[in-house]
Structure 1
């Protein structure tokens, strides 16, 4: 705390003492080193980047205020400087030591003013013509503390872009009421600057965090066809949604409720606060360019190509060519793609130097065996250890195997048509009643989520079903599928309920082929739900309001800001790119997942049932009935599927996070009263509920934020969602889904009926019939190009238990607690890898010989299928 040093400072700085100099080091990075989009920067630009009047710093006292009759403030006087810390004289940064490929270190020398006492902040003015990235400022030889460190990590634009000079505080941590009086107004004013005034178009140098609806996904102008019109998400009971960052772009002429879209050529310039933009290293910005290339160059070329050529894989060998040789494209599309994508990027995106452009690394799911993914055991295992292991639940209704629908009466009878006759002979000697009572019956249920949209979805090129899959927990811990129910809306109208057919396992003949198709329809449902809900909505979209509220209401000095800030890195930026390229009308997601143009509307309907408290892993597991409270079990939770890799590994990560958060919060908040009196904390939580998640503000489950336990629980949930949950549902996309037959994202025709041409094809050539039913070539190429990029780790990734700024606080106990957190995560990593070697745990590896590593905390660069980054950064 600041107060720890004040007495020492006052004792060593007596009036009339000799004048001295204080030296400092300023560490920054140049624009063209950090920005991948500054490829055209010339040598002349580099020479002139640091010419001009200079960069000056001005120290602010943490213990003495400025006299009211005079000010040396760099900015215009506000007329109330007597309430602010004493300002020292401006000092120029000089003696730049440059390195073209890394950082720049400059020196700054201050004439020491004894009335400064201890610096608590500094103002900086950039009088040069170009922005730069300020990393740190460190002062040496300050009377009293000796060394004073400032963590900045921010872009500094030329002074003409600011109404006030930029301010940075030391790496002290303090609650609002503990802030030294001379710094309080600076602290308050900085938050006002970050909130903005809610007006106008925001520019790249703006530092404004504000809210808006998802009103920028569709094109609604008079020249746009109706197929690109999409509803506004957020702000209504019909289409509720989390808020996204405001850009202030003009509204469309045809509809003032909708925001105009950027032209695709400008897609990387969509506004987010500058410090939220990619740019830590060149490689980080590669992501945006790769996504842009797929949307802007590859997608149109392939669409044109497949409009005039066949759009099918004829055999599984054709798909394997994607990984073993690539696909040969005609010269026209090939040359256009190569011409419009830089060669170094082309190689990175498509992993090829040859003429066959689409060559991809072989996904882990087929590295050991090309057909093991088709087994029933692997089908069940991936519900526990795949890329979407967060849906399966226990069938809890006593003596009933037909799950009840929760859909309203508008949809008629939607209850399951699975009966005892379908499964009674496949329960390993148990009766149905015994299987249910002994917690052996589980279900993967996508019926209610999809059915309200299925009639509309099936008017597009998609032809699919709403699915329910019933499974039995065997003695060896694996899940055996018992039955799959495929349902369609009734031909005579929704009020008549669903038309359903139940399929049971078969291995041979046409019945075996039909069973493989039934599993494929389940995969299609699960793939779309995963992308739209488990991944996009439940991590990317729900976290963004917390990012915005934290920056608007919690000062950088606040302990909770410092706790959460690493877990927000790059989230606003990747979400902005997604709105522009991926989830927009006609974007890559709509093209590659089955709900097509209804995708985001469907995610809005499922946001209605989102519950912040239930995002806690133990609560989620208990809600799904796969775990129960048990005080004799570690952490008080007992899993009913003991070999449930996501849950086993996840619980260890969850409780490690919670212990770290508890130690941290307990250091700054000694009792519940401190929580209640923390003005910034209370404003933050109020804004999260009422603005960021405003469509759910009246939900009864929101924590009241009146106790320390509520703060610990809430921060643990935020960190879990932004780090481990996102890692579990993101970085397995390519390892599992890079081979589309394993996780098809689209189905294009219904189950063949006996006597039909399709049925005869299924009998004579089942593989071809299977491939003609699932994702076609165009969507396959686009889909795996996309998920390969989204499954990679960059070289500057910061993982859970790590910080890119070691001196993020001066408080010893929080630093020790964080070090212990890192050690615990290392121990968890060791335990996970050892569990994967235990042959008794069959779900850890499965028939495909693919160890479950998605919750291993660390990773190497690239496509690894492991690693938990701190944030939703990709």
Structure 2
């Protein structure tokens, strides 16, 4: 007889304990053990317990383990969450089997030894069979569903609680999320605001809504939101830094002339265009969109064009706004020299358009929905033992459940965006469809996107500065891991699972649109490195950039109105403070929107920062060292950014690596 020393690590999370009998079977190249009961009356959360499994002879090299949990006849069935199982063989070899999932049924679950294997590395029939069975089950568990024609596919589910256990929120995350949502709405209901459909009588009344929930930056926004420099600053370092681009030639539908605008120091618009000091924000994606009807009142959503000028002191300032795409007598070009409320009203219409473009395109589609497509394809097509699964699975945490919640509570028929914003159900889907067709691969890769928008040398563009540094660090890490497993282009081409993964993403994530530039297959190692970096960046950093500041910039509603209830002025000199207040959303629409951005800006206590890997999916020395190096580089960058921020009037914190969540989890 020979003995195997089996050490079981149970996860230190709520409800991970089990009182049900757990059995294990060891499977090796030369045989398998009997199904052996792990003799514990209770396996407690956080426990590390060692057992002995005896066999008549050596099993050879261990390939996999089988775990099952059966209900004892008088005890309730429960769920168990093992982190990993380590096995020491009679030959003194140690094998590690990553698990990191809930076992809640009585089925047999197979887990592979932790060394990463590509499909053509599988020489053992047992390993091949386990790989096929795992992907067969995952294809059933993670099926595609068409959310709306022309929009990236989602996971097929009948609500968040029908998702597989392994991708659902932890008890901690679920409890904190529900508590934050409930307390925010309860406070508003106690104040009698959620049903109040009256207009605001003055702006100061808005300050009473979340008086105890303000942040230093939301206070700053309240104080400075009317100022031109702050309006322009938000295009660089607010929550929508991906729209602005350098403008060398004015669009034909934006007929701004030299004599319209004032340029300091005796220059003029034509000269500043030639010198590269003019920038454009074009909301053409919203052109022709029919706005929602909210509480029986027709709403208004414009598709503005905004011209910005970089002054000699490096300040960016707005110099012209046209609220509709087609020039006309009833579509004036508003200027800073117009009356106070003409200019302020024009900026409010721009900020309301920015709310819709940001929420639906930059935030929902380009981070949440794409991250979901990446996650579903990963879970369907790559087994746990695949090196790309091990690399990318940390960046899928909670994404499927938060998106299921969003489809119900935000963009569903009764969702907050559907009911209380300018973009109702059909309008919302129309914008998403239009946005989907405009996605390009280059726009998802920050170095390419910055170059294509010609934003490389714009001063004080901290999203660019921090994002490019993180991309470089991330690229180096991904490159190290992938080049460890793929030594040549031919190995990438031979990996049929890898090719199926990217093909699935191209079809269901990007709707088989070749003009997007998304790869349909991988032919080289550099292609695989760049695409994997993009997936990781989109699912962590890009989401942080467009999500984390939502309450900072949207908590003070006039800075980012979710809808507007009066049409824009068709001629100058017709606005006043009274018309502005009548244009802004009514009280209950305001507070619903503020409650939403408050909820979506709250980190949970089980937040996992970028570069942290609490789950040991990699067991080999080189990728584990690369993970440590990645974290160390990100820690250095956090210090550098924090030191820079000390000298800034408005610190840019959203891409401090320690503030970036590893996945789209909120």
Q: How many residues are paired up?
A: 659
1:449 paired to 2:288: no
Is this contact kept in 2: 1:150–1:170, CA < 8 A? Answer: yes
Partner of 2:640: 831
Greater mean deviation of Cα atoms: 728-737 or 695-704: 695-704
1:42-81 → structure 2 map (5 Å cutoff):
50-51=19-20, 54-61=21-28, 63-64=29-30
Structure 2 stretches lacking a partner, 5+ long: none
Partner of 1:774: 584
Structure 1 stretches lacking a partner, 5+ long: 1-18, 35-45, 65-85, 197-207, 215-232, 235-239, 250-266, 325-359, 405-414, 491-496, 627-638, 839-844, 859-866
Partner of 2:2: 20
Distance 2:395 2:478 in 1: 13
Match of 2:51 among 85, 92, 108: 108
1:415-426 → structure 2 map (5 Å cutoff):
415-423=253-261, 425-426=262-263
Distance 1:655 1:115, change over 3 A: same
Is this contact kept in 2: 1:93–1:106, CA < 8 A? Answer: no
Q: Per-residue CA shift, 1:421-446, capped at 9, x if unaligned?
A: 222x3254323332112210001111
Is this contact kept in 1: 2:2–2:57, CA < 8 A? Answer: no
Q: Per-residue CA shift, 1:208-251, capped at 9, x if unaligned?
A: 1110101xxxxxxxxxxxxxxxxxx13xxxxx11110112x6xx
Partner of 2:166: 275
Distance 1:782 1:736 in 2: 16
1:868 paired to 2:650: no
Greater mean deviation of Cα atoms: 743-752 or 708-717: 743-752
Is this contact kept in 1: 2:292–2:298, CA < 8 A? Answer: no
Distance 2:218 2:409 in 1: 30
1:619 paired to 2:448: yes
TM-score by length of 1: 0.71
Report deviation, 1:294: 7.6
Structure index of larger Rg? 1
Distance 1:98 1:190 in 2: 26
Distance 1:289 1:171 in 2: 38
Is this contact kept in 2: 1:136–1:149, CA < 8 A? Answer: no
Partner of 1:135: 82
Distance 1:714 1:292, change over 3 A: farther
Report deviation, 1:744: 1.6
Distance 1:826 1:89 in 2: 47
Aligned to 2:67, the other structure's residue is in SS state strand
Partner of 2:153: 243
Aligned to 2:289, the other structure's residue is in SS state helix
Match of 1:172 among 108, 111, 115: 115
Distance 2:537 2:12 in 1: 34
Distance 2:611 2:626 in 1: 11
1:796-835 → structure 2 map (5 Å cutoff):
796-805=606-615, 807-835=616-644
Partner of 1:789: 599
Aligned to 1:808, the other structure's residue is in SS state coil
Match of 1:433 among 264, 270, 287: 270
Partner of 1:462: 299
Is this contact kept in 2: 1:137–1:152, CA < 8 A? Answer: yes
Is this contact kept in 1: 2:23–2:37, CA < 8 A? Answer: yes
Report deviation, 1:483: 0.7
Match of 1:569 among 357, 374, 397: 397
1:287 paired to 2:115: no
Aligned to 2:77, the other structure's residue is in SS state coil
Aligned to 1:120, the other structure's residue is in SS state strand
Distance 1:796 1:310, change over 3 A: closer
Partner of 1:642: 459
Partner of 1:320: 207
Partner of 1:505: 336
Q: Per-residue CA shift, 1:564-597, capped at 9, x if unaligned?
A: 1111111111111111111112311123432233
Partner of 1:409: none
Report deviation, 1:155: 1.2
Report deviation, 1:118: 2.6
Is this contact kept in 2: 1:723–1:800, CA < 8 A? Answer: yes
Distance 1:98 1:60 in 2: 23
Distance 1:149 1:834 in 2: 41
Report deviation, 1:464: 3.6
Report deviation, 1:825: 0.9
Q: Per-residue CA shift, 1:438-464, capped at 9, x if unaligned?
A: 210001111x11112147789963124
Aligned to 2:557, the other structure's residue is in SS state coil
Is this contact kept in 2: 1:284–1:794, CA < 8 A? Answer: no
Structure number with the bigger relative contact order (C-alpha 8 A, sep ≥ 6) is 2
Distance 2:193 2:385 in 1: 56
Partner of 1:631: none
Aligned to 1:500, the other structure's residue is in SS state coil
Aligned to 1:95, the other structure's residue is in SS state coil
Partner of 2:139: 195
Report deviation, 1:97: 5.7
Distance 1:871 1:98 in 2: 30
Is this contact kept in 2: 1:91–1:109, CA < 8 A? Answer: no
Partner of 1:720: 537
Distance 1:361 1:554 in 2: 43
Q: Per-residue CA shift, 1:657-682, capped at 9, x if unaligned?
A: 11111111111111101100112111
Distance 1:113 1:316, change over 3 A: farther
Is this contact kept in 1: 2:292–2:299, CA < 8 A? Answer: no
Is this contact kept in 2: 1:365–1:739, CA < 8 A? Answer: no
1:580 paired to 2:490: no
Partner of 1:185: 129
Match of 1:527 among 355, 372, 390: 355
Distance 1:529 1:732 in 2: 16
Aligned to 2:304, the other structure's residue is in SS state strand
Aligned to 1:794, the other structure's residue is in SS state coil
Is this contact kept in 1: 2:395–2:662, CA < 8 A? Answer: yes
Distance 1:698 1:752 in 2: 39
Report deviation, 1:499: 4.9
| CA-based RMSD | 2.8
Match of 1:850 among 650, 653, 657: 650
Distance 1:489 1:776, change over 3 A: farther
Distance 1:690 1:320, change over 3 A: closer
Distance 2:230 2:112 in 1: 54
Is this contact kept in 2: 1:663–1:817, CA < 8 A? Answer: yes
Aligned to 1:374, the other structure's residue is in SS state coil
Report deviation, 1:138: 3.2
Report deviation, 1:552: 1.4
Partner of 1:745: 562
Match of 1:126 among 60, 69, 72: 69
Distance 1:422 1:166, change over 3 A: same
Is this contact kept in 1: 2:246–2:280, CA < 8 A? Answer: yes
